Amino acid sequence: MNLAAADLAGPSLADHRLAKHLAPRSIALVGASPKPDSVGNGMIRGLRGGGFTGRVYAINPNYQEIDGIPCFPSLAELPERVDHALLGVANVRLEAAMADAVAAGTPAATILASGYLEGDGTPPLTKRIAALARGAGMAVCGGNGMGFYNNEAHVRLCGFPPPDWITSGPIALISHSGSAFSALVHNDRRFGYCLAVSAGQELVTNAADYLDYALRMPSTRVVGLFLEAIRDPAGFLAGLELANQRDIPVIAIKVGRTPESAKLALSHSGALVGDEAVHRAVFRRHGVIEVEDLDEFANALLLFSQPRRLARGGLATMHDSGGERELLVDLAAAKRVPFAEIAASTREKLASRLDYGLEPINPLDAWGTGHDYQGIFGDCMSALLADPDTAIGALCVETRTGKALHEGYAEAMRQAHAGSEKPVIFINNLAAPGDDDLAVAITRTGLPVLIGLKPALAAIRGAMDRRDFRLCPAMAPAAAPKDLGARWRKRLATGGALEEAEGLRLFADYRLPVLPHRIVEDGPSLLIAGRELGFPLVLKTAMPGILHKSDVGGVKLGLADAPALAAAYDDMAPRLGPRVLVTPMAPLGTGLELAFGAKIDPSFGPVVMVGAGGVLIEFLKDQAVSLAPFDAAEAQRLIDSLALRPLLDGKRGRPPADLPLLAEALAAFSVMAADLADAISEIDANPVLATADGPLALDALVLARK
């Protein structure tokens, strides 16, 4: 770790609030047992297998010693107050064991059991245990988890010992799923973890706490998060900020994205998973690489575990098969992974080494006669890596231990890797297990072997996104107009919904363009207002409490003259009431209808949406979301991500929308949402007409916070 990184890390790990939790020097194994294959015996074998050198005590009233470890009836009878108690007892004994740990002053514990009791009372056992621990200021891993491995500190607290080959490495893993934890840590020798935590129910200590510790470990190069929920939003955001300060990528897989899986998360772990769109906005804002499944997760962890970061440009790949090369090109297009556009000089280098008939292009099929294949593959990869538009090089072949051909491929890539500062990887075309001896050996020399074309390309796309995120200027949202928020908060404090005219005035105050309008309550005043505003006009009911005006016939469009205006009023006033809003009709066909929306997320604060507007909002579901406030550059990125974005360039005679003004208006809307976040619950501007002369907010719905 360099000096700058050390400064960012703050206090040493020995002073961290989780030091005795994750790196204890004395441990009590509560429920230890000599019985083979039991959890009580697994605790002993797991701790010994990690090479722990501190003091260990067994707690079991039936023995004086177990497997050479001194055994005591209870924590209270130990010769010292231990740093950590591993509770390997059944649910029926769990509350008593936790009470003993609290009484003994134990600062940390790990709970393996689920904490669920048949016929349990209120509050349930999990909440009683959490209250005990919090009252004592105790850190707790679990329950309903697999424990944790701090391989850097030689501490493995678990009930099912891991394989002997597990080793330390640059990956930190924090998982709410015990099975996902086991699948990633116990099944593939390519991976090395400095810290792996099965956080389980997070009765006390949560992912944000573990993230802070992991980011301060000297060996952490990448952090993987398998998340059901984010229980400490402020701590989580602080962790993501620290990750960016230290340039440590964070890979996240967030489950509970559908209503069905969210219900399952709540039922099995009590996790309230939150809003998927908001989580994605949080991840994007902080440069988190979000993945879809465990294959993508594993490949991304491996790619980022090697120390080299992507250069500018695209992917350069080599193949020993034309057909598999074509497959990769198809999949890369779907994953939005660009290929490096290699220079003429690079093509000349390739041509000088390739067998006759092979085309010197990227992606490159380099297999010809097989003569001097190792030299050809090594030289061609070196040429591709030297090209200024290559960000990363990949050889797409299978790895097979004991096969001279594949050993030759490995040596060729090692030589190319040694002659470049850019990352070099292997990609197995087939998504087979990566536990082959050759794959393990190659990965441990700094050339990760990724498994399966689709998940490998997803990891590369994530690396490109992370690179681009690091190159983006810092977010610079505009300041809210001075003293404006205080005035509007006073109005919003009365509660309910603002009248549409008030909402439009609010928009105008925060620099969101609106049409001129009038509120009137009788026919003669309406005709005067109509002549002042100019025909054609729109008439809307302005009676309090009517939020969705179209549903009750409260909107009349295209009123071309005074008789039409009077007739519309004569129809609307008797049905809905005399109070109406009149405004000029936006010229039909001059722009595309969008919607701006804002809501206050209970965990992450103000969130802004842009998407298809008008009658299309319920049908297209074409939306982009970001945390507020943001600047015009972020607003433009959101607009560009919409499926309807090409329509803003103008179609069939319609002029293109003024995109810079549209982005500025969306950014201003986000500043408004952030400035009034403590006073509102929801804001909708729908439709917002995107025209060649800039946007116009045509309708306003503003709901005060209850």
Predicted local distance difference test score (pLDDT) of residue 589:
64
Nearest to 252 by CA among 204, 300, 312: 300
What CATH homologous superfamily does 591-704 map to?
A: ATP-grasp fold, B domain (3.30.470.20)
pLDDT band at 11 (very low <50, low <70, confident <90, very high): low
pLDDT band at 625 (very low <50, low <70, confident <90, very high): very high
Neighbours of 305 (CB within 10 A): 22
For 108, counting Cβ atoms within 10 Å of its Cβ (0-12 exposed, 13-18 middle, 19+ buried), the class is buried
pLDDT band at 548 (very low <50, low <70, confident <90, very high): confident
Sign of the Cα pseudo-torsion (337, 242, 277, 256, in order): positive
CATH code 3.30.470.20 region(s) in the chain: 591-704
Predicted local distance difference test score (pLDDT) of residue 260:
58
CATH code 3.30.1490.20 region(s) in the chain: 516-585
Please give the structure tokens belonging to residue 650. 């103008």
Predicted local distance difference test score (pLDDT) of residue 271:
42
Predicted local distance difference test score (pLDDT) of residue 615:
67
pLDDT at 178 over 50: yes
pLDDT band at 545 (very low <50, low <70, confident <90, very high): confident
State mean pLDDT over 92-98.
Answer: 96
pLDDT tens-digit readout, 525-537? 999 999 999 999 9
pLDDT band at 435 (very low <50, low <70, confident <90, very high): confident
Question: Helix or strand or coil: residue 394?
Answer: strand
Please give the structure tokens belonging to residue 176. 């709410």
pLDDT at 449 over 50: yes
pLDDT band at 655 (very low <50, low <70, confident <90, very high): confident
Please give the structure tokens belonging to residue 592. 């595309």
pLDDT at 9 over 50: no
Highest mean pLDDT among 27-41, 270-284, 483-497, 609-623 belongs to 27-41
Predicted local distance difference test score (pLDDT) of residue 276:
86
pLDDT band at 252 (very low <50, low <70, confident <90, very high): very high
To 10 degrees, the CA torsion angle through 430, 434, 438, 443? 110
For a pLDDT cut of 70, what percent of the chain falls above it? 95
Predicted local distance difference test score (pLDDT) of residue 588:
63
pLDDT at 251 over 70: yes
pLDDT band at 186 (very low <50, low <70, confident <90, very high): very high
State mean pLDDT over 294-316.
Answer: 96
Predicted local distance difference test score (pLDDT) of residue 546:
82
The DSSP symbol for 201 reads: T
Query: In which element (H, E) is residue 541 found?
Result: strand 537-541
The DSSP symbol for 705 reads: -
State mean pLDDT over 231-247.
Answer: 97
State mean pLDDT over 81-91.
Answer: 97
Domain 308-471: top CATH class: alpha beta
What CATH homologous superfamily does 162-290 map to?
A: Succinyl-CoA synthetase domains (3.40.50.261)
pLDDT tens-digit readout, 128-177? 999 999 999 999 999 999 999 999 999 999 999 999 999 999 999 999 99
pLDDT tens-digit readout, 553-603? 999 999 999 999 999 999 999 999 999 999 999 876 678 999 999 999 999
pLDDT at 1 over 60: no
pLDDT band at 621 (very low <50, low <70, confident <90, very high): confident
pLDDT band at 7 (very low <50, low <70, confident <90, very high): very low
pLDDT band at 614 (very low <50, low <70, confident <90, very high): confident
Cβ atoms of residues 606 and 628 within 8 Å: yes
According to DSSP, the residues that pair with 428 across neighbouring strands are: 451
Cβ atoms of residues 557 and 583 within 8 Å: no
Rounded CA separation 456/317 (Å): 12
CATH code 3.40.50.261 region(s) in the chain: 162-290, 308-471
H/E/C letters for each residue in 583-631? EECCCCCCEEEEEEEEEEECCCEEEEEEEECHHHHHHHCCEEEEECCCC
Average of per-residue pLDDT values in the chain = 92
pLDDT band at 439 (very low <50, low <70, confident <90, very high): very high
Predicted local distance difference test score (pLDDT) of residue 609:
94
Spell out where 437-483 has E strands. 449-451
pLDDT at 616 over 90: no
pLDDT at 267 over 60: no
pLDDT at 504 over 70: yes
Q: Which residues contact 40 (CB under 8 A, 6 or more apart)?
A: 29, 31, 32, 33, 60, 88
Rounded CA separation 382/386 (Å): 6
Rounded CA separation 184/508 (Å): 53
Cβ atoms of residues 110 and 134 within 8 Å: no
pLDDT band at 550 (very low <50, low <70, confident <90, very high): confident
pLDDT band at 258 (very low <50, low <70, confident <90, very high): low
For a pLDDT cut of 90, what percent of the chain falls above it? 86
Give the position of tokens 């030589």.
415
What CATH homologous superfamily does 516-585 map to?
A: ATP-grasp fold, A domain (3.30.1490.20)
State mean pLDDT over 235-239.
Answer: 97
Domain 19-144: top CATH class: alpha beta
State mean pLDDT over 195-215.
Answer: 97
pTM for the model stands at 0.90
State mean pLDDT over 260-280.
Answer: 58
Rounded CA separation 460/453 (Å): 10
